[in-house]
C-alpha cells in the first residue's frame, strides 16, 4: 500500500481480537450467535408492535424505532467481522471503512437521542397523564424522531467529513474489530488537532445533552411519584419506567466502560473488547429487557408461542 492522502488509501486492516488460529472458530460462533439473537429479538419487538393495535402508542412507536436502530447498529460491525474471520482476512476497503464509520456514528447517536425522547415520553405519561394524548400526539412523535435522525446525521456527517481530510502513511492497521473513529484518526500522519476537538465536542454534546435531559425527566418523575399517597400507586407509576431505566443504565454504563477502558489501560485491544458491550451486547439485551418487564409484550409472546412462559 502506497503512502498517500485519505482519498488514495486503497484499504485498511482490522486487527480484531486475536490472531490465534484456534480461537477463530470460537470467535465466529460467539459473535454469530449474538448477532442472530439480536436480530430475532429486535425483529420480534418490531413485528409485535406493528401487529397489535393496542401497542400503537407513542411509547411503543419509539421502542420500535429503537429496535430498528439496534439492528442497524449491530449490522454495521458484526457481519464484516464475521466475513473477515471466515475468510481469514483483515481487509476492509477505504470506502467500506468510511461507510462503516458513518453508519456506526449515526446509529449510536440515534440510540442516544431516542432514549432521551423515551424519557420525555415517560415524564409526560406520569406527570401529566390527563394531557398525555394531547401532548404526545402523532405529529410531535414524528417530529421528535425526525429531529433525532437529523441530529444523528449531522454528528456522523461532520466527523466523517473531518476524517476524509486526513492523510495516512503505510501503517493502516486499525487495532479494533471495526472502523472506530478515534482509532482511525490516530492512524493519520497529518495533524489531527481539529479532529480531536471535533471528537471531544461531539462526545460532550451527544453524552452530556441527552443525559441531562434524561436526568431532568426522571427527577420530575420521582418528584411526582413521591406525592402519590398509596404504595400500590407508586409501584404502578414506577413500573412503567423500569424497562427504560434498565436500557438507559445499560447504554450509558457500557459506553462509559469503553472510554474508561481506553483511558486507564491504554490498550487498543481492551478498548475493542469493551466496545463489544456497547455495540453488540446492549442491542442484544434491549428486547429481552422490554419483553421481560412488559406485560403487553409478554401477552403477545404467549400468544405466538401458544403457551405460558
SS in 3 state form for the chain? CCCEECCCCCEEEECCCCCCHHHHHHHHHHHHHHHHHHHHHHHHHHHHHHHCHHHCCHHHHHHHHHHHHHHHHHHCCHHHHHHHHHHCCCEEEHHHHHHHHHHHHHHHHHHHHHHHHHHHHHHHHHHCHHHHHHHCCHHHHHHHHHHHHHHHHHHHHHHHHHHHCCEECCCCEECCCCCCHHHHHCCECCCCHHHHHHHHHHHHHHHHHHHHHHHHHHHHHHHHHHCCCCHHHHHHHHHHHHHHHHHHHHHHHHHHHHHHHHHHHCCHHHHHHHHHHHHHHHHHHHHHHHHHCCHHHHHHHHHHHCCCC
Residue 10 · residue 1 · CB < 8 Å: yes
Residues 60-119: tens digit of each pLDDT:
999 999 999 999 999 999 999 999 999 888 899 999 999 999 999 999 999 999 999 999
Does residue 228 register a pLDDT over 80? no
Is the Cβ–Cβ distance between 189 and 123 less than 8 Å? no
289 or 144, greater pLDDT: 144
C-alpha to C-alpha distance for 260 and 133, rounded to whole angstroms: 41
Burial letters 101-131, b for 16+ CB under 10 A, else e? bbbbbbbbbbbbbbbbbbbbbbbbbbbeeee
Q: What is the pTM of this model?
A: 0.89
Q: Residue 229 has which C-alpha cell?
A: 399517597
When the pLDDT of each residue in the chain is averaged and rounded to a whole number, the result is: 84
Q: Tell me which of 132-136, 174-178, 247-251, 266-270 is least confident.
A: 266-270
Rounded to 10 degrees, the C-alpha dihedral 241/279/195/207 comes to 10
Domains (range + CATH), the chain: 11-299 (1.20.1070.10)
- In this prediction, residue 261 has a pLDDT band, given cuts at 50, 70 and 90, of low
- Residue 4 dihedral angles phi and psi, to the nearest 5°: 170, -175
Q: How confident is the model at residue 20 (pLDDT cuts 50, 70, 90)?
A: confident
More confident residue, 272 or 138: 138
274 has pLDDT over 60:
yes
What pLDDT digit, counting tens, does each position of 24-51 carry? 899 999 999 999 999 999 998 999 899 8
pLDDT at 292: 65
82 CB contacts (<8 Å, ≥6 apart)?
A: 28, 31, 32, 35
Cα separation, 177 vs 199, whole angstroms: 20
- Higher-confidence residue: 67 or 253? 67
Chain position carrying cell 454495521: 76
Q: Which three cell numbers stand for residue 222?
A: 420521582
What is the pLDDT confidence band of residue 134, given thresholds at 50, 70 and 90? very high
Using the predicted structure, report yes or no on whether residue 236 has a pLDDT greater than 80. no
Q: How confident is the model at residue 270 (pLDDT cuts 50, 70, 90)?
A: low
pLDDT of residue 293: 63
Helix axes 58-75, 78-87, angle to 10 degrees: 20
Encode pLDDT of 195-212 as tens digits: 888 888 887 888 788 889
With a cut of 70, say whether residue 171 has pLDDT above it. no
Amino acid at each position: 500500500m502506497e503512502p498517500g492522502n485519505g482519498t488514495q488509501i486503497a484499504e485498511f486492516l482490522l486487527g480484531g481480537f486475536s490472531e490465534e488460529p484456534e480461537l477463530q472458530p470460537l470467535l465466529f460462533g460467539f459473535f454469530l450467535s449474538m448477532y442472530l439473537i439480536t436480530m430475532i429479538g429486535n425483529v420480534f419487538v418490531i413485528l409485535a408492535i406493528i401487529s397489535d393495535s393496542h401497542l400503537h402508542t407513542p411509547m411503543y412507536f419509539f421502542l420500535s424505532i429503537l429496535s430498528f436502530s439496534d439492528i442497524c447498529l449491530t449490522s454495521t460491525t458484526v457481519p464484516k467481522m464475521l466475513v473477515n474471520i471466515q475468510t481469514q482476512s483483515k481487509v476492509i476497503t477505504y470506502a467500506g471503512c468510511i461507510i462503516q464509520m458513518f453508519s456506526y456514528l449515526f446509529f449510536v447517536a440515534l440510540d442516544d437521542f431516542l432514549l432521551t425522547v423515551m424519557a420525555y415520553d415517560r415524564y409526560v405519561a406520569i406527570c401529566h397523564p390527563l394531557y398525555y394524548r394531547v401532548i404526545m400526539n402523532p405529529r410531535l412523535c414524528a417530529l421528535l424522531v425526525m429531529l433525532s435522525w437529523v441530529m444523528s446525521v449531522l454528528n456522523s456527517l461532520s466527523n466523517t467529513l473531518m476524517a476524509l481530510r486526513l492523510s495516512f502513511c503505510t501503517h493502516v492497521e486499525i487495532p479494533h474489530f471495526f472502523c472506530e473513529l478515534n482509532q482511525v484518526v490516530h492512524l493519520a500522519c497529518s495533524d489531527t488537532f481539529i479532529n480531536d476537538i471535533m471528537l471531544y465536542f461531539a462526545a460532550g454534546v451527544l453524552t452530556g445533552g441527552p443525559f441531562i435531559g434524561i436526568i431532568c425527566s426522571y427527577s420530575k418523575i420521582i418528584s411526582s411519584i413521591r406525592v402519590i399517597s398509596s404504595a400500590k400507586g407508586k409501584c404502578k407509576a414506577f413500573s412503567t419506567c423500569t424497562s427504560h431505566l434498565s436500557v438507559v443504565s445499560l447504554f450509558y454504563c457500557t459506553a462509559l466502560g469503553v472510554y474508561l477502558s481506553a483511558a486507564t489501560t491504554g490498550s487498543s485491544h481492551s478498548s475493542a473488547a469493551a466496545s463489544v458491550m456497547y455495540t453488540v451486547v446492549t442491542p442484544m439485551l434491549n428486547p429481552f429487557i422490554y419483553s421481560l418487564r412488559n406485560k403487553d409484550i409478554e401477552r403477545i409472546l404467549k400468544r405466538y408461542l401458544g403457551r405460558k412462559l
